[in-house]
């Protein structure tokens, strides 16, 4: 009789633990959403600074400064968009216990991200130097925007590598997938922030 009376308490304890886990996950999602919304403002501000500098300049780019070649950045941007799709597919794969598919797609995300950063470093280095002349606002704001974004991509990429190593060890099999969900959302942030910069630097 005493044993049967324990069942309701066990059931209530399990429901309470499940409820606490749901609340914790909801709080984590809210936290990362607030981070993304607030931090994207920094990218918006840099874009506004670029547009203001452009609007106040007699000509843009300044005389003697060649316009940016959009070919390589466009290829890198398309790769970045593809990496966002792969990150989403990888997250869905791990939720259905398709570890091998997750590992392949997550590695592809990292590879495309590395390619993007390499292109941005190349663009940064090969930009027309102005060391022997007056400061060039065009070059300065370009270097600031691309470096600012690339540092974010590298930092989040390091986190994605950490997630990949844990996944390869089987940590996320039938377990909490929050690390992967957070990594995916952070990578979406990288892509969306760059699309904003790409539009300002290469299209508008």
Tens-place pLDDT, residues 146-199: 999 999 999 999 999 999 999 999 888 766 788 999 999 999 999 999 999 999
Are the beta carbons of 189 and 158 closer than 8 angstroms?
Answer: no
Tens-place pLDDT, residues 15-74: 776 777 778 778 888 888 888 888 899 999 999 999 999 888 888 888 878 888 899 999
CATH match for 2-203 among 3.30.420.40, 3.30.930.10, 1.10.8.60, 1.20.120.80: 1.20.120.80
Q: State the sign of the Cα–Cα–Cα–Cα dihedral 32, 36, 37, 38.
A: positive
Burial of 54 (0-12, 13-18, 19+ CB in 10 A): middle
Domain ranges for the chain = 2-203
């Amino acid at each position: 009789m005493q044993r049967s009376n324990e069942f309701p308490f066990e059931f209530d304890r399990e429901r309470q633990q499940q409820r606490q886990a749901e609340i914790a996950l909801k709080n984590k999602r809210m936290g990362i959403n607030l981070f993304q919304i607030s931090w994207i403002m920094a990218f918006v501000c840099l874009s506004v600074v670029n547009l203001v500098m452009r609007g106040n300049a007699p000509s843009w780019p300044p005389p003697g400064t060649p316009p940016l070649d959009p070919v390589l950045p466009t290829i890198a941007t398309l790769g970045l968009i593809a990496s966002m799709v792969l990150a989403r597919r990888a997250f869905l794969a791990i939720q259905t216990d398709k570890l091998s598919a997750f590992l392949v797609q997550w590695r592809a995300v990292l590879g495309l991200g590395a390619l993007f950063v390499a292109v941005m470093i190349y663009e940064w280095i090969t930009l027309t130097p102005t060391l022997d002349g007056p400061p060039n606002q065009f070059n300065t704001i370009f270097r600031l925007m691309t470096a600012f974004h690339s540092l974010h991509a590298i930092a989040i990429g390091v986190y994605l590598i950490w997630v990949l190593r844990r996944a390869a060890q089987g940590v996320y099999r039938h377990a909490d997938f929050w690390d992967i969900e957070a990594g995916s959302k952070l990578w979406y942030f990288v892509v969306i922030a760059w699309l904003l910069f790409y539009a300002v630097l290469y299209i508008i």
